Each structure stands twice: as structure tokens, then as C-alpha cells.
Amino acid sequence: TQLLEQSPQFLSIQEGENLTVYCNSSSVFSSLQWYRQEPGEGPVLLVTVVTGGEVKKLKRLTFQFGDARKDSSLHITAAQPGDTGLYLCAGAGVQTGANNLFFGTGTRLTVIP
């Protein structure tokens, strides 16, 4: 089993603050996805990172894939109440074919207006 640990598990911050969520594993992944999920809804894809060391930006969100493809981080600048939700990282195994996604433990973010 390829485990992904996310930290922190819970985060409550004021609007305008910055934050970073970490996703760590001892396993190598062929790619890593970040999703945001609202209660009772399906996860919505934010980004896929594939190359070790890759950095992707999505407006105020910056995603980085570790050089060894074992870890990733999500940084949010000037958080807004609309950023509230459950953030999930998910790593795809290195075997070929339809892959199981190994989900992280999740980070529940609350941005207070």
C-alpha cells in the first residue's frame, strides 16, 4: 500500500492569510493530483503534476511536486472564503495500466471572512 500523509489535517485561517498543505509519502508516484471537495460532492480536479520538481500555478494556488516524486505541496496566497473545502492529494502508482489512486488523508480548510 502506498500511503500519503497530509498535514495539517485541519486548518482554520482568516481571509487574506497564506497557507501551505503538505502531502508526503515514502513511495514514488508517476503523477500526483490535487483535488478540492465540497461536502456531499465529488472531488474536483485542481491540478496534475508529473515531473519531479515541477511547479504549477493556478491563480492564487501554487503546486509543487518533489524532486523524487514522493511528496507535494499546495500553497494558497491570500486565502478567500471560497477556498474553504477538503483538499485531497492523490498519487498514481508507477505500474502501467489503469491505476489505483492512493488518496491522502485530506486537509480540511476553513477560511473565515
Partner 1 sequence: DTEVTQTPKHLVMGMTNKKSLKCEQHMGHRAMYWYKQKAKKPPELMFVYSYEKLSINESVPSRFSPECPNSSLLNLHLHALQPEDSALYLCASSQEGVGQDTQYFGPGTRLTVL
Least distance (Å) between residue 78 CB and partner 1: 27
| DSSP per-residue letters across 65-95 | E-TTSSEEEEEESS--GGG-EEEEEEEEPSS
Distance CA 35, CA 69 (A): 18
What is the C-alpha to C-alpha distance for residues 4 and 91, in angstroms, rounded to an integer?
A: 8
State the minimum distance, in angstroms, from the CB of residue 51 to partner 1: 11
CA distances from 99 to 36, 38, 86, 93 (A): 20, 24, 23, 6
Binding mask 7-26 for partner 1 (x = CB under 8 A): --------------------
Q: Does 31 bind partner 1 (CB under 8 A)?
A: yes
Q: Using the rule CB under 8 A, is 50 a contact of partner 1?
A: yes
Using rule CB under 8 A, residue 44 touches partner 1: yes
Binding site for partner 1 (CB under 8 A): 30-31, 33, 35, 40-45, 48, 50, 88, 90, 92, 96-101, 103-106
